[in-house]
Amino acid sequence: MMKDITWGQYYPVESTIHNLDPRTKLMGTMVYIISLFIANNLACYLLGIVFLAAVIHLSRVPLSYITRGLKPIAALLLISVLFNMFLTSGEPLYWQWKLLKITGTGLRQAFYMGLRLILLIMGSSLMTFTTTPTSLTDGLEKGLRFLNIFHVPVQEVAMMMSIALRFIPILTEETDKIQKAQMARGADFENGNIIARAKAMIPLLVPLFISAWRRATDLAMAMEARCYHGGSGRTKMFPLEYKQADRMGYGILVLYLIALCLLRYLL
């Protein structure tokens, strides 16, 4: 399962999406996530699927690589679908046993919820696949600069998010190494019920926490040794500038939102 955690990893390839400004990709991701919650019928979701498929094609990131990241959330996806299927009231009623029931409304809501979660994970992970942590930090810092009026430390927040994203693949690899070392010493992470598997994870979490703490301490000392300090006044080696492709991207986002709203209120 550790190899299936692809969120936060960067996929290096030359593509149209990779070359976009990080602010454009951040805005596009935000707009797409909002559109998934605006959608209320099958036509809206079909438009969202077509839009995401087009972006994935332009990004040149393999679809198998993106869908592999859905495996770690399979349990959460299944729980969300089952809760909506058996605990939603509505008409027509197909089956009922005490508090559990299956209705047409519940089936429709469960289907939309599962589809929404899948598209949300794929759409948000595509941003990290096509944007380096450094570019993402610069985009967040410049895109949220207006929050400085309210004394929000935008630069520090962007740096923390960048470090968190950078640590995801490192901690995933560290977890895989610790798990293999524990299995070589006789640990069993695959057999038994849920409680037994949860108890077997304790010997894995303790060394992982110690390793993460050590890496965080080393990073803090390295930043302090290089006299790093956040705040205003810092310059960039590669300043962000919007290009023609970014303006076209914003235009496509506006057209996508207009088409989605038309499908929502006219159908």
The reported pLDDT for the residue numbered 51 is 96
Q: Which residue has the tokens 């006044």?
A: 233
DSSP per residue over 188-230, as a string?
A: -SSSS-HHHHHHHTHHHHHHHHHHHHHHHHHHHHHHHHTT---
pLDDT digits (tens, 9 = 90+) for 20-46: 999 999 999 999 999 999 988 899 999
The mean-pLDDT minimum among 59-63, 148-152, 161-165, 232-236 falls in 232-236
Q: Which pLDDT belongs to residue 85?
A: 87
232-243 mean pLDDT = 76
pLDDT tens for residues 160-217? Answer: 877 877 787 788 788 888 888 888 877 777 776 767 777 777 778 888 888 888 888 9
Mean pLDDT of 46-54: 95
Three-state SS at 103: strand
Identify which has the larger pLDDT, 150 or 21: 21
Residue 227 to residue 222: CA distance in whole angstroms = 9
- As a whole number of angstroms, the distance between CA 140 and CA 152 comes to 13
Residue 69 CB neighbour total at 10 angstroms: 21
Question: How open is the CA angle 263-265-267, to the nearest 5 degrees?
Answer: 60
- List the beta bridge partners of residue 101: 96
Q: What is the pLDDT at residue 253?
A: 94
* pLDDT on residue 157: 81
Orientation of helix 202-225 relative to helix 154-184, angle to 10°? 140
97: which strand partners? Answer: 100
pLDDT at 4 over 70: no
Q: Can you tell me which residue has the tokens 């699927």?
A: 49
Reported as a single tens digit per residue, the pLDDT across 247-261 is: 999 999 999 999 999
Within its chain, how far is the Cα of 229 from the centroid? 28
Q: What per-residue confidence (pLDDT) applies to 248?
A: 94
Q: What are phi and psi of 94, to 5 degrees?
A: -100, -35
Task: Pick 27 or 6 by higher pLDDT.
Answer: 27
pLDDT of 6? 61
pLDDT in tens, 72-131: 777 788 888 888 888 888 888 888 888 888 888 889 989 999 999 999 988 988 888 998
Quick check: 267 pLDDT over 80? no
- Single pTM value for the model: 0.79
**pLDDT for residue 48:** 94
Q: N- to C-terminal Cα distance for the chain?
A: 41
Q: Is 33 helix (H, G, I), strand (E, B) or coil?
A: helix
pLDDT at 52: 95
Please classify residue 132 by burial: count the beta carbons closer than 10 Å to its beta carbon, then call 0-12 exposed, 13-18 middle and 19+ buried. Answer: middle
Cis peptide, bond prior to residue 239, ω within 30 of zero: no
As a dihedral over the C-alpha atoms of residue 169, residue 170, residue 176, residue 179, rounded to 10 degrees, the angle is: -140
| pLDDT band, residue 68 (cuts 50/70/90) | confident
